Structure 1
Amino acid sequence: MLPKRLTAILIACCSLFLFTQAPGAAAHPVQSAPASETQLKPIQIFDVAAGKVVKTIPNDAQFQSFAASWIGSITGLAPQITSDESCSYVYRVPLAKPATVKTDEIAVISDDLFLFYCKDKPPLLLVFDEKRRPFLFLFKADITPFIQKVGLPAA
């Protein structure tokens, strides 16, 4: 069972992320061709304190590279964690194509990654399986270049 605060954060951010579309998204049909940078869903930044998405930025090959490095450096499922005010942002990173996120215990296929940024704590990846069950993963990749590119939190 996840701690109450973390559960509340998961519910709030994921509800917003999952039910919010980029402007104009409904006007474009889903295409079966490989996604180009112009077809990628945007990166969304959820401010935990504000309780809303505060920034949306175009997704590109560099963001896809960051996401691949996170997936490639997963060390395992996150143990029960406590969440506090240091967890200030959650970043939704839509993937160009579904990826398998796996550890020895589990494999989850997803087309979205949710990066949890908590100051002075290891970052976490939240992934939902096809039944929308959440899985939190620990990973080793450095998120500093990603944070610098999105600009939140400010340096």
Structure 2
Amino acid sequence: MYKKVFLLILLVTFCGNIVCGAEGEKKVEIFDNKSSSVVKTLSSSSDIQRETSIIINNIDGVYKKLDPIPKTGYMIKVPLVKPVTVSNEWFYHLVEEVIIILPQNDDPHLLLLDDEQFPHFFTFNHGIDDLLSYIDFEFRR
């Protein structure tokens, strides 16, 4: 299972490095877990950054299910324009990007990487409809 998680993290991060333009602009990416490919890339906006910040600030627990990366569904990688210190009872690190996991048959959850790139999965109590609207992405469970 850990091999699968790290492979997906590396794939998402690698794709992000390729997509960065000559100026080094970080792009928001939507990754389809079933096809293992990036299906949409777009520039970030202040709305996307704000909504991602709200989601981070609404972490309400550790994701406890066995397989945090579903076989079907999507992952949205949002690089943060300004790194944010996430400080709660489960995690205290500077975060440069957030990966929001949208499983096909479960509630969304987050993947945050610590300073050593170790993955941490969290639940949050904020809707994702606004974020999906800002990235112009339709997701049906």
Compute the TM-score of the two structures, normalised by the length of structure 1: 0.77
**Aligned-residue CA RMSD (Å):** 2.2
Alignment counterpart, residue 42 of structure 1, candidates 17, 27, 44: 27
Query: 2: CA distance between counterparts of 1:45 and 1:147?
Result: 11
Instruction: State the number of aligned residues.
Output: 138
Asked if the contact 2:20–2:27 (Cα under 8 Å) also holds between the matched residues in 1, the reply is: no
| Residue of structure 1 aligned with 2:13, choices 18, 25, 36 | 18
Equivalent of residue 147 in structure 1, options 132, 136, 139 = 132
1 or 2, which has the higher strand percentage?
2
Which of residues 75, 93, 108 is equivalent to 1:123?
A: 108
Amino acid at match of 2:95: S
Match of 1:34 in 2: none
Structure 1 residue 141 displacement after superposition: 0.9
1:91 aligned to which of 76, 81, 84: 76
Q: Could you list the runs of 5+ residues in structure 1 that have no partner in the other structure?
A: 30-38
**TM-superposed deviation, 1:139:** 0.6
1:49, distance to aligned residue in structure 2 (A): 0.6
Residue equivalent to 1:28? 23
CA contact 2:94–2:114 (8 Å) conserved in 1: yes
Is there any run of 5+ residues in structure 2 with no aligned partner, and where?
none
- Quote the offset at 1:7 in angstroms: 5.6
TM-score by length of 2: 0.83
